[in-house]
Each structure stands twice: as structure tokens, then as C-alpha cells.
Structure 1
């Protein structure tokens, strides 16, 4: 974008300015460092039983015999892998899919949010009343229903979010599609299907860590956040960019997050 071009301010409710496509090496580096730090933070929580905020926590439990388990029990290793998977996915998204400028402030907010939520999940997973480990030994045999359902939601949500954004990215890379709304693939099922995927895996992570009640709380919060901030902000941006195309797309695809549900 030429320096003389005036960049409109970000839409209300957006952390990142979708109009700004300028390079952002500092912001991207900060975001990458924050997301790379996240698994280290989660491991430090999961590998210890020291009280946090005065709360009594479960002992780490018998570790798996494999050296690749990092001395963690099956349940805690699973949560570490989920936190690591989300970090790797978001780093890849930033460097290979996203086109917006990642300002340092946006990097701190989004990176800090992810560390906070993942830390909340892992702390809750070590509390006696909320842990879904299933038994004091954390053997996960049989696998508790919240863990099984949570892992499935995590996988499906990540696939849904990533696949939809890759489809849209490939569409945008074709210069013949400049100025066109992407209304095919997974975006033919819901206008913000990537947000729907994010909600699924985020709630799945919480469910696998701490059970049904915290997962329900996470779902309500994310639904509120997207309904009141994320979706209106993106709708405003797309309406200004695509005009009548966006009006037609909203009629063609009435669902916001998930086809046939919402």
C-alpha cells in the first residue's frame, strides 16, 4: 500500500485493522514468540503440583515410561499436546495465510489471550473438583467422556478453521478473483465458519481439561464475543469492501458460525 494512502481505522470490536496490509515484522515476531512460549508455560504448570493462587492441586500423577512424554501423565501430556498444536497452527496461520498487519499491540493482546486461556485450562485440569483425569492415577482407562468428546471437538474445530482459511487463501491468490467474495467451499456453509471452528476447538480444549461446566462457560463467552464484536466488525468491513456482493452472500448463506445451527 503506498505511504500516501490513508488507511481507514479498524472496525469497532476488531483487535487488528483489516484495512492495513503493510508489513509488520515486529508485530509478527512478537506474536510468534508469544505463541512459541505458550507450550513452555503450560508444561511448567502441568509438571508441578505447587499451589496456584492458594488452590490445592492434584499431584502430577504417574508419568508415562516414554522419554518423549516429558515426565507427564497421559492426561497432562494430552493437554500439553493440545496447547502445542494450537500454537503451531496459529504461527503457521500468521506466516502463510494471514495478510493483515500485525501491530505490536495486536500481537500482545492475541498472544496474551491465548496464553491466558490455555493456562486457565491447564490449571483447572489440576484442581481436584474439576480435573477430567478420571482417577488419582490419571491412567485415563477407560477414557472419560469429557476427554474423548473434547479431543474430537479439538480436532474437528482445528480442521474446520484451518481448511476454511486455506480454501479462502487459495481463492484470493488467483488474481482473477480480486474484488470477489469467496462463497464456496466451507464458506458456502456459514459466513464465518472459521470462527465456528475456533469456537469448537477452544471449547474442546476446555472440555478435555476441566469438564462440562467450564466448557459451557467458554462456549457462552465465545458466542457472546463473536456475536457482539467479531462478527459485526467483519460484517462491516466486508460490506464496505464488497458492497452488493456481500448483501447477496448474506442472503445466500444465512448461517453465521455453523450450518443449520447458528
Structure 2
């Protein structure tokens, strides 16, 4: 099967492309480096020729609210039009759990617009909504940092490791289109401030985490339901403690090298 991965050189895209190739599929990583521009449509016709599935895991280069919305709308229109012309039979997109519950988050508003375009197209699709990645905890910490203090919500979330995301995406990509949404999440539901505190302590970061129910998560206040999945999400196998232990050991190995 020929599968095109939009954003195939990114964090998830690289892992996903590798896993699909291990399953003996023909995989094209569609990126600017391979002369594909998902915003303008340049190179899409060539990349999509003969493809059965297109997976979109691309992210905007800027997280400014206006830039995010323009990226997802322009990319969505270009990619879907090229898929229709090429006869693609399954469009898979990686989105985020809880986007409709965070209207003050500009990135989430962009994702909502992207999903609307997909659902309005004639192409069979599967929307995969993931919870936050373990690998993004540093960015979450930075978003709440004021001086040496990190103000974060104690709301619950259920983060997942990127390897587990790629595994789930690979399975869904080669499956039958759902024409609906599936959620994926990690095995543990924990407060955001507590997990970031553990992450900073393990990585020897001196900043102090302060729980604050009014702390905004990239523009939005949270509650325990905002970022957590609904009933029966697909659950990744990697526990945070194991991921953190491995990450810290890898960092130490690299520093020795």
C-alpha cells in the first residue's frame, strides 16, 4: 500500500513513517525537503499519485493564533483537493483531545477548523485525537514560567508517549476508515502541575511549580474534563515513570558522549 505522510519529518511523522515501512508499505514523507508544500499544493499531485492513504501529522511553524488558523485552513483545502484528484481512499489526521472544550486556545480553534474541512469533504476519513505528549512537558512548563516559578493548573490530564501515538496511528492508517473520531491517551490520569513537577525534578530543573486553578493552558483555563478523553479511548502502554527514567538516562548518556 502506498501511504503519504504529511509532516513526515516531524516528531510523530518520522516515527510513523518508520513503523509503516516496517510493515512493508511504500511510504512517502511529504515535506518541503521533498519538494512538497501542503499550503500551496505544490508537489502534492506527484506525491499522491497511486496513494491509497494520506496521513496528516503536520504542525504550523508558528503558534500565533492567526497563523495557526491560516495554516490549518490552507493546508486542509490544498491536501483534500489533491487527494480527491488522486483518488485517495482514506484521510487520517492527528488532532487533539478536548479541542471543542477550549475555545480560548487558538491552536485548538485551528484544529477544529481543520476537522470541519475533513468532515465536509467526500474522502473517507479517520480523526485521531490524542492527549498531550510526554515529550511536550518542557514546553508546558515554559508556558507557565514567571521567573523561577511555574504556574500550572492542577486539572487532570492523561498524557501519552510519542511512540505509543505512532503505534496507534500506524494501526489506524492501515485499517478501514471510520468516518469518525477515535481518542488515544496514556494509561494514567494525573494533575498537570504534579507531572510537570516530577519532570522538572528528574531533569534537575530548579524551577518551582505552583498549582493555580486560574493558570491558563496556552490561553485557556482548565477543569478536570477539559483535556481528558471520553469513554473507551485507546490506551498506550508506556507509563510516565518508565518514559521519564528512559529519557533521563538517554540525556545522561548523551552528555557523557
TM-score where L is the length of structure 1: 0.30
More strand by share: 2
Structure with bigger helix share is 1
TM-score of the aligned structures, taking structure 2 as reference length: 0.30
> Rg larger in 1 or in 2?
1
